[in-house]
C-alpha cells in the first residue's frame, strides 16, 4: 500500500483569484515534509485539498493511493489532522475530549489513555480544557490527531504561538512519529523548525513552489559566497576563501590560539527565501 502523498499540478482559485498555482510534490512514506511560507501563502488551503475538505480547481492529488476527492472512512481512519482551529470542548476535561473523539471514530476505549500518556498529559487528564495553558492545549490537539495511530499526519502550524520549551516538546513528538514510520506533512513559518525536523521542504510563495528539497542541501546550493568566517578572540571577524590558502590561514590562527569560533557563510532558509522572492518571511 502506498502511504505517500502525490500532487500533480494542483491549482486552486477562490472567486477567480488564484491561490495555488500548479503545485507538484511527491511525499514518500515515512517522510517528514514541511511546507513553508508566509501567512497567506496557501498552506492551509493545500492541506484542506489533500484531506478532502476542499476541492481543487485543476490537477490531481493522491493520498494512500486514493484520489483526494474520493476519500472515504477507510482512508480517514488512517490519517490524523491538527489544524489551526483546535475544535476542543472547553468545558470537558482532557480525557473526556479524547474519549468523545475516540467514540465518534469507533476507536477502542484504551486509546485516550495511550494518547494522553504519549504527549505527557496523563497527569492532567481531569483538567478542563479552559484551564489548560496554550502549550498543554496544543499537546492535547496533537494527542487527538495521533489517537488512531495514523499512517499520515497533517500538522498545520503545530508550534505557532508556543514558547521555545513547548515547541521543543512538540518537535520531540514529531520526531517520534518518524521512528514509527508515519508520513508527516507539516506547515510552518518557522524556518529553524523546518531545518531541524524535515527531510524535505517546499518554499511556497504566493501560491507557487519556489524551491524544494532537503533543507541542508538547499542552503548549500545557495552558498554563493562559499567562504569560511573566523570569529577571533579580539572580537574581529575575518572572511577566508574556502581553499588551500584559506586552510593555511585557519591553521595559523588556530595555532596562535586566536580563534573563538569558525563558521561557514552558508545561508539559512530564511535568507534563501529572501533571495528567491525579494521578501522576508514574517
Ligand atoms: N474559503 C476561502 N475563500 C476565499 N479566499 C480564501 C479562502 N480560504 C483561504 N482564502 C485565501 O487564500 C489565501 C491563502 O490562505 P491560506 O491557505 O489560509 O494561507 P496560509 O495557511 O499559508 O496562511 C489567502 O489570501 C486567503 O485569504
Ligand atoms: Mg494557515
Residue nearest to atom 17 of ligand 1 (CA): 42
Q: How far apart are CA 281 and CA 158, in angstroms?
A: 18
If you average pLDDT over residues 253-279, what whole number do you get?
88
- The Å distance, Cα 14 to ligand 2 centre, comes to 15
Q: Cβ distance 189 to 161 under 8 Å?
A: no
Residue nearest to atom 8 of ligand 1 (CA): 45
Q: What is the pTM of this model?
A: 0.89
Give the number of other CB atoms < 10 A from CB of residue 11.
15
Residue 14 CB less than 6 A away from ligand 1: yes
pLDDT band at 254 (very low <50, low <70, confident <90, very high): very high
Instruction: Give 140: exposed, middle or buried? Use CB within 10 Å, 0-12, 13-18, 19+.
Output: buried
Specify whether 230 is located in the same domain as 129: no
Q: What percent of the chain has pLDDT over 90?
A: 72
Specify whether 154 is located in the same domain as 178: yes
- pLDDT by residue (tens digit) across 172-194? 999 999 899 999 999 998 888 99
Q: Which atom of ligand 1 is nearest to the CA of 15?
A: 4
Please determine, for residue 2, whether its predicted confidence score (pLDDT) is greater than 80: no
> Per the domain annotation, does 83 fall within a domain?
no
- CATH number of the domain that residue 43 is part of: 3.40.50.300
Specify whether 155 is located in the same domain as 196: yes
Please determine, for residue 278, whether its predicted confidence score (pLDDT) is greater than 60: yes
Q: What percent of the chain has pLDDT over 70?
A: 98
- The Å distance, Cα 14 to ligand 1 centre, comes to 8
Q: How far apart are CA 85 and CA 139, in angstroms?
A: 14
- pLDDT by residue (tens digit) across 90-142? 999 999 999 999 998 889 989 999 999 999 999 999 999 999 998 899 999 99
Could you say which of 120, 147, 174 is where a domain stops?
Answer: 147
- The Å distance, Cα 214 to ligand 1 centre, comes to 26
- Residue 42 has φ and ψ, to the nearest 5°, of 115, 15
Q: Which atom of ligand 1 is nearest to the CA of 84?
A: 21
> Per the domain annotation, does 232 fall within a domain?
yes
pLDDT at 1: 52
DSSP 136-157: HHHHHHHHHHHTT--SEEEEES
Q: Cβ distance 111 to 97 under 8 Å?
A: no
Specify whether 122 is located in the same domain as 200: no
- Which residues make up the environment of ion ligand 2, defined by Cβ < 5 Å? 43-44
Residue 68 CB less than 6 A away from ligand 1: no
pLDDT at 87: 82
pLDDT band at 236 (very low <50, low <70, confident <90, very high): very high
Within the chain, strands assigned E span: 5-14, 17-27, 32-36, 58-63, 66-67, 79-82, 152-156, 183-188, 200-205, 208-213, 227-232, 237-241, 259-264
- The Å distance, Cα 49 to ligand 1 centre, comes to 12
- The Å distance, Cα 40 to ligand 1 centre, comes to 6
Question: What is the pLDDT of the chain when averaged over all its residues?
Answer: 92
Number of structural domains in the chain: 3
Specify whether 31 is located in the same domain as 100: no
Q: What is the dihedral of CA 241, 242, 244, 247, to 10 degrees?
A: 90
Specify whether 141 is located in the same domain as 169: no
pLDDT at 268: 87
pLDDT at 282: 67
Domain that holds residue 46: 1-78+150-223+268-282
Amino acid at each position: 500500500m502506498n502511504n505517500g502523498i502525490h500532487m500533480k499540478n494542483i491549482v486552486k482559485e477562490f472567486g477567480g483569484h488564484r491561490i495555488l498555482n500548479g503545485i507538484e510534490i511527491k511525499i514518500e512514506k515515512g517522510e517528514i515534509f514541511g511546507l513553508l511560507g508566509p501567512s497567506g501563502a496557501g498552506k492551509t488551503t493545500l492541506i484542506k485539498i489533500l484531506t478532502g475538505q476542499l476541492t481543487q480547481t485543476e490537477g490531481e492529488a493522491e493520498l494512500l493511493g486514493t484520489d483526494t476527492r474520493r476519500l472515504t472512512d477507510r482512508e480517514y481512519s488512517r490519517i490524523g489532522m491538527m489544524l489551526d482551529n483546535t475544535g476542543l470542548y472547553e468545558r470537558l476535561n482532557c480525557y473526556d475530549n479524547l474519549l468523545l473523539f475516540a467514540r465518534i471514530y469507533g476507536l477502542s476505549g484504551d486509546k485516550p489513555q495511550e494518547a494522553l500518556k504519549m504527549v505527557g498529559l496523563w497527569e492532567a487528564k481531569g483538567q478542563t480544557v479552559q484551564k489548560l495553558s496554550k502549550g498543554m492545549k496544543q499537546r492535547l490537539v496533537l494527542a487527538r490527531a495521533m489517537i488512531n495511530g495514523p499512517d499520515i499526519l497533517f500538522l498545520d502550524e503545530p508550534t505557532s504561538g508556543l514558547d521555545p520549551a513547548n515547541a521543543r516538546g512538540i518537535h520531540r513528538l514529531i520526531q517520534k512519529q518518524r521512528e514509527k514510520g508515519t508520513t508527516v506533512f507539516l506547515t510552518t513559518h518557522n524556518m529553524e523548525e523546518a531545518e531541524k525536523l524535515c527531510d524535505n521542504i517546499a518554499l511556497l510563495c504566493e501560491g507557487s513552489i519556489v524551491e524544494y528539497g532537503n533543507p541542508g542541501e538547499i542552503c548549500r546550493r545557495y552558498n554563493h559566497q562559499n567562504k569560511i568566517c573566523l570569529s577571533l578572540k579580539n572580537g574581529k571577524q575575518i572572511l577566508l576563501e574556502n581553499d588551500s590558502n584559506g586552510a593555511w590561514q585557519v591553521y595559523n590562527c588556530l595555532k596562535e590560539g586566536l580563534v573563538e569560533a569558525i563558521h561557514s557563510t552558508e545561508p539559512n532558509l530564511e535568507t534563501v527565501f529572501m533571495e528567491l522572492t525579494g521578501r522576508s518571511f514574517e
